[in-house]
Structure 1
Amino acid sequence: MTERALLLALLLLAAVRPAAAEVLDQSSTGFTLSNTVTVAVPPQQAFDALVDAVDQWWPKDHSWWGQEGRFRIEARAGGCFCERSGQREAQHMRVIFVDPGKLLRLEGGLGPLQGMGLSGVMDWRLAATDDGGTTITLWYRAGGYTPEPLGDFVAIVDQVQAQQLGALASHLDKP
């Protein structure tokens, strides 16, 4: 395991709120992940926080520029999930489908996947619960060619996504 991967794994252990995480499938060319959490706010409120408050809840240790990075999601087809720090900019993913309160779909590769030649489709799926809350599922399918063995880091990517979903859930739990 590389030093960076080890550091990333240790940071994950300090995640504030765990989500149910699962590697649904994986092969030498791709993988599918699913992470789920339930929050006590209605779907539209959860969706609004997902897109409008991303800079408040997205973990800064998963930023190109740490605390200096500012995140935004333009919730429209073709919109950007971007990060900016002064003159530095990064497009993390591109929005390809928006159904407010129900689904936000993005495409691209997050973090190191981007530079490895891997890309994917990420769904943030929101479903109302019987008690007025929301079940949020973060689903991600990624693939492409890379000489790196995917099996070495699929579990780490899954844990990072669980941390990201947990951060959104913790943000939604604040009074």
Structure 2
Amino acid sequence: MRKTTHLCLLMSALCLSPFASAEVVSSDSTGFHIKQTHRYDDSATNAYRVFVDDIDSWWPVDHTWFGADGTLTIDPVAGGCFCEIAGDRQAQHMTVSYVDPGHVLRLTGGLGPLQGLGLNGTMTLTFSDSELTLEYIVSGYPSVDLTQLAPVVDKVLSLQMTSFTQSTTQE
């Protein structure tokens, strides 16, 4: 089932490519900057609500630490948690640092393997009617070549945001 879901999301991303743009703005040995724009057929207010309140319904389960056993949540307050909880197993993916409901959500931290590499980032999500802009700036003292890692992170984020825009359009 997971392979089918992953394949469907990948095919959807390819089909929706005219409605999304993604790029590694810059990268070097100590960091990178990703910027993506994704289109949807909805208001900024509702898109923001879906992003925050329904993240568990659109975030691909194969890009979580605990799979189907976990529940993703975002507490949209300064200092709030973008967390994944599966009983006693818990992960804080990012921390909310700025909230302008219906317009901007800013999170800090390293997603997925970035956290384990000691890297930190700032992700700013800007919502407007029919469009989400995501910027993720990551830096640190890496043990891997970040110029090689940046395109991978860009692709994964694009997959996740495509899933988000599809769920927003369906509501």
Which residue is 1:73 aligned to? Answer: 74
Which residue is 2:86 aligned to? Answer: 85
* 1:164 and 2:160 aligned: yes
Quote how far apart the aligned CAs of 1:12 are: 10
Report the CA distance shift for 1:15/1:28 in structure 2 as closer, same or farther (over 3 A). farther
Which structure dedicates a bigger proportion of its chain to helix? Answer: 2
CA-based RMSD of the aligned residues comes to: 1.7
Which residue is 1:107 aligned to? Answer: 108
Matched pairs, number: 161
Matched position secondary structure for 1:92: strand
- Whole-angstrom distance in 2 between the partners of 1:16 and 1:92: 26
Quote how far apart the aligned CAs of 1:16 are: 2.9
Q: Check the 8 A contact 1:73/1:80 in 2, yes or no.
A: yes
Structure 1 gap segments, 5+ residues each: 1-9, 129-133
Quote how far apart the aligned CAs of 1:136 are: 0.3
- Whole-angstrom distance in 2 between the partners of 1:11 and 1:116: 28
Point out 4+ residue stretches in structure 1 off by more than 4 angstroms.
10-13
Which residue is 2:26 aligned to? Answer: 25
TM-score (norm 1): 0.87
- Whole-angstrom distance in 2 between the partners of 1:54 and 1:110: 15
Q: Check the 8 A contact 2:83/2:91 in 1, yes or no.
A: yes
After superposition, what is the alpha-carbon deviation per residue over 1:48-81, rounded to whole angstroms, capped at 9, x for unaligned? 0010000101111110011111100000000000
Match for residue 144 of structure 2 among 120, 123, 148: 148
Quote how far apart the aligned CAs of 1:174 are: 1.2
The AA in structure 2 aligned to 1:64 is: W
Matched position secondary structure for 1:48: helix
Q: Check the 8 A contact 1:15/1:166 in 2, yes or no.
A: no
Q: Check the 8 A contact 1:12/1:160 in 2, yes or no.
A: no
Q: Check the 8 A contact 2:120/2:140 in 1, yes or no.
A: yes
Quote how far apart the aligned CAs of 1:13 are: 7.8
Q: Check the 8 A contact 2:108/2:121 in 1, yes or no.
A: yes
- Whole-angstrom distance in 2 between the partners of 1:104 and 1:124: 5
Q: Percent identity?
A: 42
- Whole-angstrom distance in 2 between the partners of 1:138 and 1:156: 16
Structure 2 gap segments, 5+ residues each: 1-5
Which residue is 1:118 aligned to? Answer: 119
After superposition, what is the alpha-carbon deviation per residue over 1:141-161, rounded to whole angstroms, capped at 9, x for unaligned? 000001211122110100001
- Whole-angstrom distance in 1 between the partners of 2:33 and 2:51: 21
TM-score (norm 2): 0.89
Quote how far apart the aligned CAs of 1:38 are: 1.2
- Whole-angstrom distance in 1 between the partners of 2:60 and 2:126: 20
